[in-house]
Amino acid sequence: MPRAAKVAVSDATIHYDKLYTYRVPAALEGRVFAGSMVLVPFGRGNRPRMAVVLELADAEEDPRLKSLLDAAPEDARLTPHLLELVRFLQERTFCTWFEAVKAVIPYGAQYCPGTKDGRPVLKNRLAQPKVAVYTLAAPLPEKPKPGPRQQAAVAALQAGPRTRQELLAMGIGRATLDTLCHKGVLRAQERAATQDLLADLPFDPQPLVLSPAQRAACDALLGDLRAGAPRAALLYGVTGSGKTAVFEELIAQTLAMGRKALVLVPEIGLTPQMLRRLKARFGSRLAVQHSRLSNTERLIQWRTIQRGDADIVVGTRSAVFAPLSNIGLIVIDEEQEHTYQSEASPRYAAHDIAKKRAAQENALLVFSSATPRTETCYAAKTGRIRLVELNERYGGRPLPGVDFIDMRAELTAGNPREVSARLVEELARNLQRGEQSILLLNRRGYHTVGMCAVCGQVLKCPNCSVPMVYHKPRHALLCHHCGHQVCPPPAACPACGGRMVYSGFGTQKVEEELGALLPTARILRMDQDSTGQKNAHAQMLGRFARREYDILLGTQMVAKGLDFDNVTLVGVLGIDSLLFGQGFRAYENVFSLITQVVGRGGRADLPGRALIQTTVPGHPVLRLAAAQDYAAFYNEEIAFRKYGLYPPFCAFCVVGFSGEKEADALFAARRFAALLAHNAAQDKTLPLRILGPVPMNIALLAGRYRFKLTLKCRGDAAFRALLRAALAAYEAEKLPAKAAVTVDFNSDGDL
Ligand code: ADP
Ligand code: ZN
């Protein structure tokens, strides 16, 4: 019986994103598997298109069945586990099949259509990087007398094979090597390139003695690790309690069992620090996956993992798809971070993928945090996952003392600046003592608002409904959402000609103020604008660690996870706008951000202190964050979630609609709501609340009008089936032509 392949094709809109059946031609017999990348003739014109095989079946005797054109080599195939993740993504996040495939395979490892001898074939997106390796094959003949270069080449290879690059570095040229190969003295071979991105990091294992609290936490988790039953746990520990040491120990045990470990960090900026620690302890069998690697670097790392040559993988969200097998342990560090949720299709949460992988591999999954997500803590408190706690800082170091600075009083006292007198005083004191400070201001740019003094109009982006931000180095207004630029910034109001007044402050302005107030201070500003260059992040943090700067000023990238022993003062500026931000996680985010940044201080022998500038010093969330009282915060928050019906008490799904015409987008949203409500009415057992449609927080983005529906529902298969049916009905009415639809189960209220 001939075989058939059921495939998902690339670039499908949800509209025709179903599985298509193709015959496996005799020429490809035995080379096509579930998970294979293939090329298929698609549509009426039979244009070649990329596809992935979801399953194989027996082919029916249908003469209309088209045949596959080509198949990628077997090493490009998705393993059964990864293919299962593709299915999981498609089912849970409502993405297309191929969006799921692209999330699982990095760009460099993907294929694209090409031609060979006029026939359509698959082609690597990226040439697999290869290196030439030379080996000694025969003794060097004495006649004719070999030259000194030839002798040097042979001498260099006595100890074993070397790459062309290494030989070139020794002054042995290509011509010499070619001559020797020609004589049969050397043999040249091509080998897949490997690359030690971590070569500069020392391998320097230090004995790590766990404190009794760390030992107890570790032991509580080791049982689950050894049992090999898929279990999840929350490792809750205050900042500086030494959570990293606990999971280092778990990694050691995992490797000792012959299994592998996957460690996720929330930001690229935290990978160097984690790599340094793990390399020092475990050596080079370590691979990295994150989006700042070049496509080639990423591919080489990915292949290394796929070949089984890495025992530990460190990376950001997307590393959760690393082709690692035999996983014994997955760690999600700082699990509360929103960066673990993807904000483009497929809109997944790394947590859910990690759970799935832990189940596939019978691995232990550890969520680590000083301020866990309310949902995670609830799961731990209700026994769905194990709860393990570290209640004190390592070495009994005290948590930093926190004080508030009332910025209303500061204004009344006549200080027009953004940095309060008290904070400047403390910064000066640190400067004198040679201690370092970290300042958090979660806004980049210089001025954040431009407003007409006469008509009151705010300068907004023409494509987006947000104010333009003034960037001093470029002397331009920038839209932080679509990149639109106005240079120079208008001095007069475009509407009435009145005088424009620029106000509000971002990191650039504070940097300037500090420079004037503390002329001797060496200030390092870290935000999206100053870290654009590759490796800028790591280099800046490295320089701060070497004490080349006194003050590190930055957006939330300076708040999290960093461990510097000379930091004793932490300042928080401009936090209030976050406090009054929208979304049901606003309080949780502020609590976590303050706790995290305050926790950066006093981590070693010197005690730390923190100052929070605010206009609402009495705000309960700020009070609780200052007291670092997570337990009390959690109690308040869980009560609010229950009362207001938010996760974990329901699933929360935002469906977004965007279109070029406002009326179309609104109409589509209304119609979809009606379709969904109609379907839901058929099944009274399914609880569902539909809120909206209302405009999104950013009602106009990059020229598209945006509306949203908020669904409070059950996060189960029955609800997903209902939603799928409504989407199908929406498609059938051809509404998608008017408004694109987006489904997000991880949103905190907006898209
Ligand atoms: P957390 O991740 O909980 O905020 P870390 O793991 O970064 O805390 O530990 C805080 C500090 O204490 C670090 O500087 C770390 O090197 C130190 N530390 C933690 N545990 C140990 C240990 N067992 N031995 C020596 N130093 C430790
Ligand atoms: Zn814009």
Q: What per-residue confidence (pLDDT) applies to 722?
A: 93
Q: Quick check: 684 pLDDT over 90? A: no
Of 199-203, 270-274, 564-568, the range with the lowest mean pLDDT is: 199-203
Q: Which two tokens stand for residue 441?
A: 């201001």
Q: Which two tokens stand for residue 543?
A: 């320089």
- Say if ligand 1 is within 6 A of residue 566 CB: no
Of 708, 697, 698, nearest to 739 by C-alpha is: 708
Supply the CATH number for residue 736's domain: 3.30.70.360
| Per-range mean pLDDT, top range of 261-265, 579-583, 686-690, 728-732 | 261-265
449-458: pLDDT as tens digits: 999 999 999 9
* Whether 249 and 327 share a structural domain: yes
Question: Among the atoms of ligand 1, which is closest to the Cα of residue 397?
Answer: 12
* Whether 179 and 273 share a structural domain: no
588-615: pLDDT as tens digits: 999 999 888 888 887 777 888 999 999 9
Nearest-CA residue for atom 20 of ligand 1:
242
Q: Mean pLDDT across the stretch 618-644? A: 93
Of 90, 127, 99, nearest to 111 by C-alpha is: 127
Q: Rounded distance, CA 581 to CA 93, Å?
A: 26
Considering the domain boundaries, does residue 678 fall inside one?
yes
Considering the domain boundaries, does residue 555 fall inside one?
yes
What is the Å distance from ligand 1's center to 244 Cα? 6
| Cα 736–chain centre separation | 29
Q: Which residues contact 96 (CB under 8 A, 6 or more apart)?
A: 8, 12, 13, 14, 17, 90, 345
Model confidence at 196, pLDDT cuts 50, 70, 90, reads low
* Whether 350 and 413 share a structural domain: no
Residue 227 exposed, middle or buried by CB count within 10 Å (0-12, 13-18, 19+): exposed
Considering the domain boundaries, does residue 166 fall inside one?
yes
Question: Among the atoms of ligand 1, which is closest to the Cα of residue 599?
Answer: 4
Q: Quick check: 195 pLDDT over 70? A: no
* Whether 391 and 423 share a structural domain: no
* Whether 185 and 239 share a structural domain: no
Q: Mean pLDDT across the stretch 402-411? A: 90
Q: What per-residue confidence (pLDDT) applies to 616?
A: 92
Q: Quick check: 260 pLDDT over 80? A: yes
- Say if ligand 1 is within 6 A of residue 600 CB: no
Q: What per-residue confidence (pLDDT) applies to 351?
A: 97
Considering the domain boundaries, does residue 465 fall inside one?
no
Q: Mean pLDDT across the stretch 352-371? A: 96
* Whether 431 and 558 share a structural domain: yes
* Whether 620 and 517 share a structural domain: yes
* Percent over 70 (pLDDT), the chain: 98
Out of 610, 641, 672, pick the residue that ends a domain. Answer: 641
532-569: pLDDT as tens digits: 887 788 889 889 999 999 999 999 888 876 788 899 99
Q: Rounded distance, CA 358 to CA 141, Å?
A: 59
Show the CA angle centred on residue 489, arms to residues 487 and 490, nearest 5°.
120
Q: Mean pLDDT across the stretch 281-288? A: 89
Question: Among the atoms of ligand 1, which is closest to the Cα of residue 214?
Answer: 23
Q: Any idea which ligand is nearest the CA of 545?
A: 1
Q: What per-residue confidence (pLDDT) applies to 14?
A: 67
* Whether 168 and 246 share a structural domain: no
* Whether 77 and 166 share a structural domain: no
- Say if ligand 1 is within 6 A of residue 209 CB: yes
Q: Quick check: 250 pLDDT over 90? A: yes
Considering the domain boundaries, does residue 576 fall inside one?
yes
Structure-model confidence comparison of residues 175 and 534, the more confident one: 175
SS3 per residue for 322-377: CCCCCEEEEEEECCCCHHHECCCCCCCEHHHHHHHHHHHHCCEEEEEECCCCHHHH
- Say if ligand 1 is within 6 A of residue 563 CB: yes
- Say if ligand 1 is within 6 A of residue 389 CB: no
Q: Mean pLDDT across the stretch 708-722? A: 93
- The mean pLDDT value of the chain amounts to 90
Q: What are phi and psi of 236, to 5 degrees?
A: -95, 125
* Whether 334 and 423 share a structural domain: no
Q: Any bridge partners for residue 132, and if so which?
A: 190
Q: Mean pLDDT across the stretch 479-493? A: 92
Q: What per-residue confidence (pLDDT) applies to 202?
A: 79
Q: Which two tokens stand for residue 352?
A: 């859910």
* Percent over 90 (pLDDT), the chain: 58
- Say if ligand 1 is within 6 A of residue 447 CB: no
Supply the CATH number for residue 181's domain: 1.10.10.10
Q: What per-residue confidence (pLDDT) applies to 584?
A: 92
* Whether 232 and 342 share a structural domain: yes
Out of 587, 613, 641, pick the residue that ends a domain. Answer: 641
Considering the domain boundaries, does residue 462 fall inside one?
no
Residue 437 exposed, middle or buried by CB count within 10 Å (0-12, 13-18, 19+): buried
Number of domains in the chain: 5
SS3 per residue for 540-606: HHHHHHCCCCCEEEECHHHCCCCCCCCEEEEEEECCHHHHCCCCCCHHHHHHHHHHHHHCCCCCCCC
Q: Containing domain of residue 157, as a range?
A: 130-192
* Whether 12 and 104 share a structural domain: yes
Model confidence at 672, pLDDT cuts 50, 70, 90, reads very high
Supply the CATH number for residue 419's domain: 3.40.50.300
Considering the domain boundaries, does residue 200 fall inside one?
no
Considering the domain boundaries, does residue 468 fall inside one?
no
Q: Which stretch of DSSP H or E encloses residue 102? A: helix 97-104
Out of 103, 124, 145, pick the residue that ends a domain. Answer: 124
- Say if ligand 1 is within 6 A of residue 208 CB: yes
